[in-house]
Structure 1
Amino acid sequence: MNNEDYFEDRVDNRDLFKDKVDWVLKDSIQEKNFQCGYCGKSVNSSKGITTIIHNDAFIEQHKDIVGVYICPNCNRPTFIDNVFSQTQVPLPKIDNNLQNIPLEVMEVYQEALDAYSVGAFTGTTLLCRKLLMHIAVDLGAKENESFAEYVKFFDEQHYISPRSHNWVDEIRKIGNKANHKLDMNTKEEAEKDLIFCEMILKSNYEYPNEISNKKEPNQ
C-alpha cells in the first residue's frame, strides 16, 4: 500500500466513524472480555461508554460495538473498536514485572513497553534497539559501537544461550529495518524485540540476583 492509499483509508475510516457513531454514557453496556492495558488483568466489563451506529444493515453485519470500557479491577478506561479498525487502546502491556534491573536500563525498557501499548510498533523497535545498546554497555561493551556490534557482543560474550543464535540475527534485521528503512515495523516485530529484550534482562540481571540474594542454609 502506498502513502496516498494509506492516508485515504485512514480518512475514510475516520469519516465513517464520525458519520455513524454517537457516544452514549451508560452504567451497563454490552459485556466485553478484554485484557486491561493498565493493570494487565483479563476482565469482563459492562460499564463504560457505548455507541449508537446509524445504520441498521451495518449493525446487522457487525454484531460487536465500539466503546470505552471501564476495567473492574483498576477502574481505568480502555477504548475497544472491533467494528471499524480492530483497535484496543491501550493494548495489553507485555509483562514488565522485572527485578534488579539498573534504573537507566529499566526506564528505556518501560518506554518501549509504553510505545507498544499505544500501537507505536516502529517506535517500540527503535526503543528496543536503544535498550539493547544500553544493556550491552552496562555489561561491558564499548560505547559508541554500531548496533550490529552490540548484538554480536551478546552472542560472543555468551550473554544469550547457544540455542538463541537465530534470535540474534532476527533482532539485528528488525533493528536495521527500523533505523535505516522507510518501512513501518509490525506488531509481531515489536513483540519479538520485546521478548528478546526481556530474555536478556531476565537472564543477566533478574535471575543472577535472585540466586545471590538467597541465603545459604545453615550448615
Structure 2
Amino acid sequence: MIIECVECRRHVDASVQGAFLRTYGGRAPSSLFSLLACTECFSPILIRQTNIGNIAEGDIWDTPQLVFPTTDLRINPKAPQDIRLAFDEASNCYRANAFTASAIMCRKTLEGICAAHGVEERNLARSLQKMHEQGLIDDRLYEWSDLMRTAGNEAAHGVGLSIQREDAKDILEFTNAILDYLFSYRDRFEAFKDRRKGARPVENAPATRTMNLGSESPAEI
C-alpha cells in the first residue's frame, strides 16, 4: 500500500502486517484498521479506512487515514463523507506545502459543515451567521469560522496572495476543532443530556422513627 511515512517523510509501498475490522451495528459505515510497516525506516504505521461501498458494489474502502503515529488532526467517522474528503484534501495539501490550496479546501469544508446541518444560505457568511443564531456554534467558534472564511476567500480570489505555512496550519487546526465540536463533542453532550433527562432521581431514605421512652426501662416496654 502506497502511503507517506510520517517518520522518514517518504512515500513508500508499506507492507501490511495485520488488520482489524470494526463495525458500528449499522449506525455508521464499518472501518478497517491496518497495521503497516514502512519499507524504508521500518516504522509502524496504523491506518483507518471507511467502507463507502454498498450491497450492490460490495466493500469499497476510501482513502487511508493515519491513526498512528498520532497527529493533532482527527475527524469523527460519523461526519458525512464529503466533509471528510474535503478536510482530508485540505490536510494533504498542507503536507504537500500547498498552503493556499489547503486554506481553500478548509473553506469548502466549512460550506459542507453548514450544509450538513441544514443551513444553506446565499453565501457562506450568511450560513455561518445562521449557524450562530441557531446556537449550533458559539461566539468563539463563529469568530474562528468567519475569519477562516475570509482567509479562504482571499486565497481563492486574490491571484497575488499566498497563504503562509503558519496561517495554513492555524486554519487547518481551527477547522479540525470545529469538526470535533460539531460531530463529536456536541453530539455526545446532547446524548448525555438525554440520558440525564431519563435518569430517575434517587428516592430519599425513609425517615427514622424516634420513640419517646420517657422514664420507662427497656424491661417495662
The question of 1:104 aligning with 2:75 is answered no
Cα deviation digits, residues 50-108 of structure 1 (max 9, x gap):
xxxxxxxxxxxxxxxxxxx6352239xxxxxxxxxxxxxxxx96522434211121111
Report the Cα distance in structure 2 between the residues aligned to 1:216 and 1:165, rounded to whole angstroms.
28
Larger Rg: 2
Report the Cα distance in structure 1 between the residues aligned to 2:195 and 2:133, rounded to whole angstroms.
32
Among candidates 138, 141, 147, match of residue 124 of structure 2 = 147
Which of the pair is proportionally richer in helix?
1
Q: Which moved more, 1:110-119 or 1:150-159?
A: 150-159
Secondary structure of 1:133's partner? helix
Among candidates 166, 177, 180, match of residue 154 of structure 2 = 177
Aligned to 1:73: 44
Report the Cα distance in structure 1 between the residues aligned to 2:128 and 2:112, rounded to whole angstroms.
11
Among candidates 183, 186, 202, match of residue 208 of structure 1 = 186
Identity level (%):
24
Moved over 4 A (4+): 37-40, 211-219
Report the Cα distance in structure 1 between the residues aligned to 2:5 and 2:74, rounded to whole angstroms.
11
Q: CA RMSD in A?
A: 3.5
Aligned to 2:164: 186
Instruction: For residue 151 of structure 1, report the CA deviation from its aligned partner.
Output: 3.1
CA contact (8 A) 1:125 1:193 kept: yes
In structure 2, what residue type is equivalent to 1:150? S
In structure 2, what residue type is equivalent to 1:73? P
Instruction: For residue 121 of structure 1, report the CA deviation from its aligned partner.
Output: 0.7
Secondary structure of 2:45's partner? coil
Change (3 A) 1:154 1:187: farther
Report the Cα distance in structure 2 between the residues aligned to 1:164 and 1:104, rounded to whole angstroms.
21
Aligned to 2:139: 162
In structure 2, what residue type is equivalent to 1:104? D
Secondary structure of 2:156's partner? helix
The question of 1:128 aligning with 2:106 is answered yes
Change (3 A) 1:107 1:209: same
The question of 1:113 aligning with 2:84 is answered no
CA contact (8 A) 1:100 1:209 kept: no
In structure 2, what residue type is equivalent to 1:203? Y
CA contact (8 A) 2:145 2:175 kept: no
Aligned to 1:95: 73
Cα deviation digits, residues 116-166 of structure 1 (max 9, x gap):
1111111111111111111101111126x2232233233333332223454
Report the Cα distance in structure 1 between the residues aligned to 2:190 and 2:136, rounded to whole angstroms.
18
Unaligned runs of 5+ in 2: 10-39, 47-69, 201-221
Aligned to 1:57: none
- Paired residues in the alignment total 143
Change (3 A) 1:179 1:140: same
Cα deviation digits, residues 161-199 of structure 1 (max 9, x gap):
223454244213212211221211111222222222212
Q: TM-score, normalised by structure 1?
A: 0.52
CA contact (8 A) 2:106 2:171 kept: yes
